Amino acid sequence: MKAIVGALLLGAALTGTASAAPVPATGANAILPIAEFGRRPFMAQPRISPDGTKIVVQMSRSGKGFLGIIDLEKPGSAPDFFLATNEFRDLGDRDVIAWRWVGNDDVVVTMRSREDVYGQRADIWRLAAYNLKTKQLTPLAWDGATGDASSILHIDHDKGKILLARMSNAYGTEMWQRYEVVLVDVHTGKFEVVQRPNPVVDDWIADGNGVIRAAVGNNEDSGKQRLMYRSGPNEQLHTVANSADPTFTEGQIVPRVFLDEPDMVLALSNKDGYRKLYKVNMKTMTVGAPVFERPGYDIEGGVITNFERNKLIGVSVEETGDREYWFDPDWKLIQRNMDERFGAGNAHIVSRDRKDERLIFHVGSPSQPGAFYLYDTRKGSLALVGYVHPTFKDATLNPMSTVVYTARDGIKIPAVVTMPRHRPGEKNLPVVVLVHGGPFGVRQKEEFGAFPWHQALAEQGYVVIEPNYRGSGGYGKQFVLLGRRPDGYGNRMQDDLNDAVAWFAKDGTIDAKRACIMGWSYGGYATARGAQRDPDVWRCAIAGAGVYDFPMMTAWDTRNLGKFNAKFQATAANPEDISPARHVNGKWAPILIVAGLRDQRIPIEQPHTLVSRLKAAGKVEDQDFRYVEQKQGTHNLPYEDVAAQWLEEANAWLAKWNPAYLPGERKAAAAEPAGTAARGR
């Protein structure tokens, strides 16, 4: 680490192309095709090896993902690709969703497959290790595993072993959903049991030395969360807390970092209204003064530790965007220099080697997908690893900002606003209110993001407003509870969306008569509720993967998630009152309904019910509503063709009911879609 300080204090030049802003392949001054924003990242999740000599990273080619190794000791050499990472579409397909180093020659990948289990579709989770020397992929503890064998509790890089929590069939069918803990050799796949399953434990927690120190169990019916703890490996776990949080704001204490002090851990708690980082004595459950807090914001779990996981070095906080706060003076200096070079909040550490000599940063403003750069502290150099997006590269697209508006009852609502870059200075623009999912505990921030729908719509000429309506996360416990009140879901939360239109129309930024609403998951519900409840506010609605009949959904959730967890969503006294599918006879705003046939979270019966009832009420298809069922679609819109279809259908519906440009309004030239060469980079 001292090498970092020396390089920066001496003013060593940061080499490479860090300050360059390459023109995207489709042309910076043209309107980019909306389908381009559905493209999968060109580069994602780079992870550097402990010795800093190699990077494992996902890269895409022709819309498909592959996992490869970049050898930093051989500059200019082609990546060694060894595994496809595409999400499954059919039974038996496997998808690679995460990867990490174990030592310097093995990459452990998390794989998921969808299987037919007694006539029901189920997701199966497994681990496999790829050895760079033998080029072999070794299954890890698959023998006897049932649903999940993928939860890594600890990595011993020196011995090439992992501590793995997995479900096993060795204890009878009634214990299939409980986890045992096994110690696995990643070179051979052989394992030994170090902790048998416990009927009241759902998750085991290990300290930085690989010792199981705590366990958490959740009762699906009562909602009680049991926390068990022990001071060391020779003691028995005993219960130190067992309570329910009916507010669903995660108020219970769960250890995040085990410190090198007897019984002391770092944990997050919202006991004082905002989630703060505390030092906690686990033996007595005594909570000390806050170690770190950020007034006005919750700490959402971004606790940054040293390599050994026993010392706090920083905290990541979601404010208007991501920001890191460092306790270590060396890291403070690194962040200050990065902020000075790239702008405050534009450079974020994503991976580092064991000695903190080689660091991977993501660099990009909220209006840029950005790129990954390798900072070598020994040389004081910065080199491009690769761009996130294959077409946009480092181009700056539509500008973003956070604006706080006032709802009709006086509540302050933060909103992320994306302005169309091709219409600077224009007034009374069309608007799309884009509603985030969740709804509780989730929020939007200033970022390009993995799903840049806001950028896609702004590029076509719309102002995009993303309200963090009451119930959204990050702004303290009371703000979440405002949404959980009986008048929140489907009512006050909807008012917040309507009030955004009125607020931004006051100064002429938007035309309130040219407003549409759009969203996915909870956002899909809020969109349909808006079309049904407030058709005079919205010229059109675009709903994806939404819940439309809450009594039906609650019954499904109760069967699959338990009685307590089924209460997470709608909090209205009478769920029928806020269910759009139960109120189809009145006036509706024209609505596009999109659903994935393979959606594992929202059953396909939800859109089917809404569509059938709209038809029964006399609504005309392709006029009052349009239904698009994506045969390969899941809840996560994983594929380029599926994501592109969602955006193209949305754009067509907007063009029909709320065109971005009226006759006589000047429109920038449209760019041609990226060709084969660009898609293959």
Write out pLDDT tens, residues 469-490: 999 999 999 999 999 999 999 9
Q: Which two tokens stand for residue 479?
A: 């703000």
Mean pLDDT across 322-340? 92
Q: Find how far residue 291's CA is from the centre of its chain.
A: 26
pLDDT at 646 over 80: yes
- The alpha carbon torsion through 367, 368, 373, 379 (nearest 10 deg) reads -60
pLDDT at 681 over 60: no
In the chain, the domains with their CATH numbers are: 400-657 (3.40.50.1820)
Confidence of residue 563 (pLDDT cuts 50, 70, 90): confident
Single out the residue of 123, 105, 103 nearest to residue 114, CA to CA: 123
pLDDT at 676 over 60: no
What pLDDT shows up at residue 251?
78
CA angle 319, 320, 323 (to 5 degrees): 50
Kindly give, in sequence order, each residue whose CB lies less than 8 Å from that of residue 30, ignoring residues fewer than 6 positions away: 668, 669, 670, 671
Mean pLDDT across 486-500? 96
Mean pLDDT across 612-616? 98
Q: What is the mean pLDDT of the chain?
A: 89
What pLDDT shows up at residue 220?
79
Cα–Cα distance between 386 and 56 in angstroms, integer? Answer: 12
Strands in 118-172 per DSSP E: 120-131, 137-140, 151-156, 161-167
What pLDDT shows up at residue 174?
83
Q: How many residues does the chain have?
A: 681
What pLDDT shows up at residue 421?
97
Strands in 275-380 per DSSP E: 276-281, 286-292, 302-305, 312-318, 322-326, 347-352, 358-363, 371-376
Residue 519 burial (CB count, 10 A):
28
- Of the candidate ranges 70-74, 88-92, 334-338, 381-385, the one whose mean pLDDT is the lowest: 88-92
- Percent of the chain with pLDDT strictly greater than 70: 92
Confidence of residue 118 (pLDDT cuts 50, 70, 90): low
Cα–Cα distance between 482 and 530 in angstroms, integer? Answer: 19
Single out the residue of 340, 341, 355 nearest to residue 16, CA to CA: 341
Confidence of residue 25 (pLDDT cuts 50, 70, 90): very low
Single out the residue of 506, 505, 507 nearest to residue 433, CA to CA: 505
Please give the model's pTM, rounded to 2 decimal places. Answer: 0.91
The residue whose two tokens read 């190794």 is 69
410: left (phi over 0), alpha (psi -120 to 50) or beta: left
